[in-house]
Structure 1
Amino acid sequence: MQADALSCVWQAPFDGLARAAREAGVPMSRVVVLLPYAALAIEARRAWAARQRQAAGLAPRFTTPRDWAAALAPWQPGSDDISHDMARDALVAAAWIERVVPARQDTGLRRELVARLVDAARQLAPLAAAQAPERRAAWAEERRAALAAAGGSASAQWESLVANLAVTWAGSSAYITDALWSPFAAPGADADLLLSLPGHHTDPLGEALLAHWGPRAGRLAWSAPAEAAPRVWACEDFEAEARAAAACAIAHLNAGRAPVALIANDRLLTRRASALLVGAGVRLRDETGWKLSTTRAAASLMALLRAADARASTDEVLDWLKLAPAFPPQAVEALERRLRQKGVARWAAVSMDWREADIDAQRAELQAARPLLHWLKDTAQALERSGQWAPLQADEAGRQLIGVLRLGEGAHELDGLGEAAAGPRGAARWSLAAFGAWVRDVLEGAVFQPTVAGAPQVIVLPLQQRLGRRVAAVVAPGCDERHLSASPEPDSAWTAVQRELLGLPDREALARAAASAWAHLFAGAPVDALWRRHDAGEALLPSPFIDGCHESAAESLLDPRLVAAGGTPRPRASAPALLPERLSASAYDDLRTCPYRFFARRQLRLDEVDELDAEPDQGDLGNWLHEVLKRFHEARGDERPGEDADRAAMDALAGVVAMEMGLGDDVQAGGFLPYRAQWPALREAYLHWLWPHEAEGWRFVAAEAEREQRAGRWTLHGRLDRIDARRDLDENAEGDESFVIDHKTESRARTEARVKEPLEDTQLGFYAALLPARRLRAAYLSIVDARGERDEPAKLIEQTEVLMARDAIVQGLVNDLERVAGGAAMLALGEGAACDFCAARGLCRKDFWQPVAGDVAGDGEGEP
């Protein structure tokens, strides 16, 4: 907006101001003009200076009621006052709730009641502040009586409780604007004429002060908004609208129109458009801000509190360690790698050998209950020890966090809050959970507004605060029926009757305010209004304010670029220098199944990250069963204690291993319960196979045995589930006969399919190569729940041609690796099930290959 346009907006208010001062015979320096919000005072002074450029004399005082009161007398909220500081208000509200709600009530309910009470009391605060302090108690009593007379259903017990407490709290509170009722602000003391320039909503305090000043007060009015229509852009979805909004703002800046107002109708959309603008190098100031809880500083503090919980998950502790500079990143990465390989979900189940002693020491210091002031001091010390304090102090959001939580100085301000509401009591001891909940509430209630160096090019504003602002253009995204309604829904839990009794604005008042705000949007600046047709799969309509306006397609705002259609060429990777010297059975199986998968997973070492806190699945069942059988046989050895003793030993081990793996605690136990229910059947199936197997002369040798062998230039390695042996009765036999057994808990059909083609099954042939005995057998032991199988629940599925398969696999492995080492292309040859769940599918981009005539999978030149 240019200077003449700004003066035009302020012409009517300033003409009325000059006329009122002249008629009252009051110099301008003795006139106070009350404005609806603080940012408008700067615009008013600038416009007045432009108007009075040729005239001498002092300017009137443009201010808000709050700023005027702060200039008259300093104010500190009392122990039970509404302060609009969440750290204080949450404590006072909790004290009010504690007074009337039994302590045995659910903790979650009490937290919800506290949050609702703070919200309700803050909505009533402007109404209470509009009452003279000596009349405020009577006002509250009248409102309580009116609410009681209106009645309510029995199901509204908690809503009624919150309403009455909110009225009582607001009516008993002092406010910073109480100074305006004192002799310091009496007519003739600090000013001789009081004028009010209202916003779109009625200000109860402003109206009360005008009545209090009587003939020495008056109202000013804004210039009538010019009739204009916006340029309307219709977008397809959320992302298209955000990009179009950013494009509109950049187009205005390129045309020399600055600053641009970006209207925050849809907060999430505005954040996305703001990110696009900042990424394009635009200086942006967000006057709406965002919750302090969403900042990195808040995430750092909350990570510490979550990790300190005695029941913390492994993920929660690792999250904290990654944010704590006191712990070396390399050590944390190594620890995380081991934990993910083992799948340890609970930190309590982590082996003590893996933990650094200082981790648990720091966590333990924040686990005992203590008073709030001690919590604040100890939390600050914990942040210092973990190295998080210095980054918080160096960060703008971190400094605000320290201030609002009183982690540095000012903790004494919170001592004794709410004592009058709750009655005499000792200092309450807070648990870690209660303290963490209070911290979350405080951070949720605080608004963070980062500073911007230099004059902003784009200013993010609420629609209501466009009034009187100096901007050169306006971009208003979110002009759909949901985010810009012509009849807004009141944003509180008050009923229509309660709103009328309390004096809160009703739907009609909100509709008038919305219409007024929309009309003043066009004051002296071009407006781009945007809306989207779809949001998360749901169809939207335009706002009634733009319905019927001519629309343009938002695609025309963006710079179109022609991109030739075509797919991705099939990859032909080659990396002989990255060929590993050690191979496992699964690594060689990747090479045989799809060379490109081998390239991605084994040469580039790219793989999916294992989840630590995922729901237990079939893999957890297999790992659990493997560990139980290993410990069972290692403890049992060659002894045969009897069937009952075997059952008891396995049952005891099953519980111990489940707890150690994080599958038996109160968090994961529920998810693992269906698998634990299979345990009796699995145990019986295994034992009924084991006893006849041992009767044939087989004895246990090793479980989870690490073995390796050389094959050409490469080393084969693996872990064998179980090795058994027996001495043949034939005296001419050369040594013991060995038996390699791999346990399987998958479906019986899948296990049987593994051995149908001896040369197709990599695992048993590879394992046989790790145990080069002349007399060798290899089999899968399929252990399933007997209720789902007609066959025996534990069945040995043997690979009868394992020696032939072993020799062929070793020879094929050497040949394949030699070709890879020679630079052969690693083609993506996987098909069917091999590709369905492949971790490398997004890397080879098989779904986007371009078709090439004659390019058939498998005919590539030089593939392994």
Structure 2
Amino acid sequence: RQIRRETITGGWQRLRHLLPVRQDERDADDIHAEGADDADAARAEREARAAARSIVAWLADEAAAWPRGHAQQPLSVWLERLDATLDKLAMRDALAADDAGRQMLDALARLAELPDDETGAHATLAQHEFRAMLSAILESVAYKEPSEPSTSRITILPLNGARMRRFDGVVIVGCDDAQLPSSAAELMFFSNQMRRELDLEDREARFAQQARDLAEVLLNNDDVVLTWQKVGARGEPHHVSGWIERLSACCKRAGAPIEASAAIRTFEAEARPASMPAPAAPEHVPARWSAAAYNMLRRCPYQFFAGRMLGLAGLEDMSDDLEKRDIGTLLHRVLHRYHQEMRDQDERDNDRRLARLREISEHEFGALIRDDGNALGYYWRWREVLPSYVQWQAAREAEGWYWQGGEIDVSVDIAMEDGEPLRLAGRIDRIDVGPDGSRAVLDYKTQSALRLRKKAGDVEEDCQLPFYGLLRADAHAGSWVALEGAKDGNMEGNKESSQQRAGQQREVDLPDFDAAVDALARQLRQDVGRLRRGAKLAAFGDASACTYCEARGLCRKGFWESTALPDLT
């Protein structure tokens, strides 16, 4: 899941840096969790991260043992390396315990015979050539299903394959006029007339041979069933073969009719449009909530039911394309490192601050640019933002607000009426401390300040910032920080007006922050309480919620008889 979340499609170095040792893991012995559950959860996460690092290092070391590049190596070198990998990764025993695995090992064992012949002894291959050969050999081997020895078996044959053979029973399929007799398409230079003149087999000769084959099957076997379809795949009518009609007429005159109607079992499915689904699942209400989970519930309760309560959300797709989310994660890392250094060094000079921020940005973006050149455009756009960001930070500090911490994982419990606390968890992008010791939470957004001002007018759209306020009870202010948009590279001139412009470009305050936090707490308690009491989760999401919804195939929106909201009590 972590690899998919980071969209790492290749490169062992990127995998090695995927799960670095965090500070809380280094100081694990000094951390005293508030409760036993928190301590167990923290210990389990540390153990999981350590195990993941060990697996990645193990695999990377084994991959490094393989010859790299386009160097040519004797076939024996590649085979020895393959055997070593199977043993190192404990794959051989697992494959030997499986039917398909044993057949694959047998196919690989035949590779060992190749260097013994005169050609294989002198063959040299590059790694991609060896992989191609290995793939071709494995594709050429058909899996054979193991079965108990039995005298009864079903054999599928063409009509001429049954010559001089007897069976317990025969079913001849496709006895319609299009398939019996079957006719091969005539070639341009070998028409039937030409074939007769050249004394070659023509259509009439082929038909005569098919008739003899059919007669032989009928005469050599006691039980023969002839079947045909009245309607083709595209709805076109089919008629029984003329040969079968002639046979039927002859048998009828002899007093032994051969026609019979088979009652075929049919399975019909009919689409029955229903009303809006509204299931209830109080036993699946999560005990732990994040801002993303609650946003999903408010966006569409049925989407929340399928994705979070039933756990049907699929794994994130891997993509070679650089996504804006990846850039957002990188910018978070850049700013966290930058602010931590500035606080520790107590740096106040804006020019030196800007120079250091550019250095950190270049270092963090450098690795990504080497893997994906599309990151270069994002990097230059970010460099244009840096001067105004430094100015905004200086203006904020002039008001008495200083960076205290960032990328902080927090979890709190909220009391509920039923006595079972509600656990809220999330990661706060940034916390600032004010002149009077008060705290403010900030949420970085890779959006322009103009879009964020529209967001401030409708806090119901995204509850993340008020959710930060629930996670930190000592926070009484909240803002979004735009990491895109207009730039102001002028570090000279009127300092006060320059800082004011920077603030307008970067920061958007959430008005009535405390009121928004209190309203979210009340709404959250009410909604979760109703879910625990069995409230129904209707699929009333709007078009924006349905566009990329993975649960669309479950709720069947677009096939309902009525879109009226059902009774949710």
When the two structures are superposed, what TM-score results if normalisation uses the length of structure 2? 0.68
User: 2:86 is matched with which residue?
Assistant: 383
What secondary structure does 1:691 align onto?
helix
Cα distance change of structure 1 residues 478 and 446 upon mapping to structure 2, 3 Å threshold:
farther
Which residue among 403, 413, 431 is the counterpart of 1:710? Answer: 413
Structure 2 counterparts to residues 19-418 of structure 1, below 5 A: 337-346=1-10, 348=12, 349-351=14-16, 353=50, 354-356=53-55, 357-367=57-67, 370-390=73-93, 392-393=95-96, 397-407=100-110, 411-412=112-113, 414-418=115-119
User: 2:132 is matched with which residue?
Assistant: 437
Identical residues among aligned pairs (%): 25
Greater mean alpha carbon deviation, residues 705-714 or residues 441-450: 441-450
Shift of 1:654: 1.3
Cα distance change of structure 1 residues 462 and 652 upon mapping to structure 2, 3 Å threshold:
farther
Once the two structures are superposed, residues 249-273 of structure 1 have per-residue CA deviations (whole angstroms, 9 ceiling, x without a partner) of xxxxxxxxxxxxxxxxxxxxxxxxx
Shift of 1:680: 0.8
Cα distance change of structure 1 residues 613 and 834 upon mapping to structure 2, 3 Å threshold:
closer
What secondary structure does 2:313 align onto?
coil
| Contact map agreement 1:487 1:510 (CA 8 A) in 2 | no
Provide the rounded CA distance (Å) in 2 between the counterparts of 1:433 and 1:521. 50
User: 1:694 is matched with which residue?
Assistant: 394
Which residue among 589, 594, 607 is the counterpart of 2:300? Answer: 594
Provide the rounded CA distance (Å) in 2 between the counterparts of 1:411 and 1:565. 57
Which residue among 473, 478, 484 is the counterpart of 1:783? Answer: 484
Shift of 1:585: 1.0
Provide the rounded CA distance (Å) in 2 between the counterparts of 1:631 and 1:804. 32
1:583 equivalent to 2:289? Answer yes
Once the two structures are superposed, residues 431-459 of structure 1 have per-residue CA deviations (whole angstroms, 9 ceiling, x without a partner) of 33222211222233445555654245532
User: 1:765 is matched with which residue?
Assistant: 466
Provide the rounded CA distance (Å) in 1 between the counterparts of 2:450 and 2:466. 20
Shift of 1:843: 3.2
CA RMSD, 1 decimal = 4.4
Provide the rounded CA distance (Å) in 1 between the counterparts of 2:338 and 2:173. 71
| Contact map agreement 1:480 1:532 (CA 8 A) in 2 | no
Once the two structures are superposed, residues 108-149 of structure 1 have per-residue CA deviations (whole angstroms, 9 ceiling, x without a partner) of xxxxxxxxxxxxxxxxxxxxxxxxxxxxxxxxxxxxxxxxxx
Once the two structures are superposed, residues 761-812 of structure 1 have per-residue CA deviations (whole angstroms, 9 ceiling, x without a partner) of 41222122223336423224251487xxxx9995433322222211111111
Provide the rounded CA distance (Å) in 2 between the counterparts of 1:689 and 1:745. 13
Provide the rounded CA distance (Å) in 1 between the counterparts of 2:363 and 2:178. 63
Write the letter of the residue equivalent to 1:861: L
| Contact map agreement 1:743 1:781 (CA 8 A) in 2 | yes
Provide the rounded CA distance (Å) in 1 between the counterparts of 2:304 and 2:290. 12
User: 1:840 is matched with which residue?
Assistant: 551
Once the two structures are superposed, residues 80-106 of structure 1 have per-residue CA deviations (whole angstroms, 9 ceiling, x without a partner) of xxxxxxxxxxxxxxxxxxxxxxxxxxx
Which residue among 427, 431, 437 is the counterpart of 1:719? Answer: 427
Shift of 1:478: 13
Provide the rounded CA distance (Å) in 2 between the counterparts of 1:605 and 1:546. 55
Shift of 1:820: 1.9
Shift of 1:833: 1.2
Once the two structures are superposed, residues 285-305 of structure 1 have per-residue CA deviations (whole angstroms, 9 ceiling, x without a partner) of xxxxxxxxxxxxxxxxxxxxx
User: 2:214 is matched with which residue?
Assistant: 522
User: 2:537 is matched with which residue?
Assistant: 826
User: 1:741 is matched with which residue?
Assistant: 442
| Contact map agreement 1:736 1:775 (CA 8 A) in 2 | no
| Contact map agreement 1:700 1:724 (CA 8 A) in 2 | yes
Shift of 1:625: 2.7
Cα distance change of structure 1 residues 584 and 465 upon mapping to structure 2, 3 Å threshold:
same
Provide the rounded CA distance (Å) in 1 between the counterparts of 2:99 and 2:129. 27
User: 1:204 is matched with which residue?
Assistant: none
Shift of 1:692: 3.3
User: 2:27 is matched with which residue?
Assistant: none
Once the two structures are superposed, residues 184-236 of structure 1 have per-residue CA deviations (whole angstroms, 9 ceiling, x without a partner) of xxxxxxxxxxxxxxxxxxxxxxxxxxxxxxxxxxxxxxxxxxxxxxxxxxxxx
User: 1:458 is matched with which residue?
Assistant: 154
Shift of 1:674: 3.6
1:811 equivalent to 2:507? Answer no
Cα distance change of structure 1 residues 541 and 548 upon mapping to structure 2, 3 Å threshold:
farther
User: 2:567 is matched with which residue?
Assistant: 860
Provide the rounded CA distance (Å) in 2 between the counterparts of 1:832 and 1:376. 56
Provide the rounded CA distance (Å) in 2 between the counterparts of 1:450 and 1:814. 56
Shift of 1:406: 3.1
Write the letter of the residue equivalent to 1:577: E
Which residue among 575, 582, 603 is the counterpart of 2:309? Answer: 603
Provide the rounded CA distance (Å) in 1 between the counterparts of 2:475 and 2:89. 58
What secondary structure does 1:459 align onto?
coil
Once the two structures are superposed, residues 651-676 of structure 1 have per-residue CA deviations (whole angstroms, 9 ceiling, x without a partner) of 122113x2xxxx743xxx2xxx4443
Structure 1: 5+ residue stretches without partners: 1-336, 420-425, 491-495, 497-507, 551-555, 728-734
Which residue among 603, 608, 629 is the counterpart of 2:335? Answer: 629
Provide the rounded CA distance (Å) in 2 between the counterparts of 1:447 and 1:768. 61
Cα distance change of structure 1 residues 466 and 363 upon mapping to structure 2, 3 Å threshold:
farther
| Contact map agreement 1:689 1:795 (CA 8 A) in 2 | yes
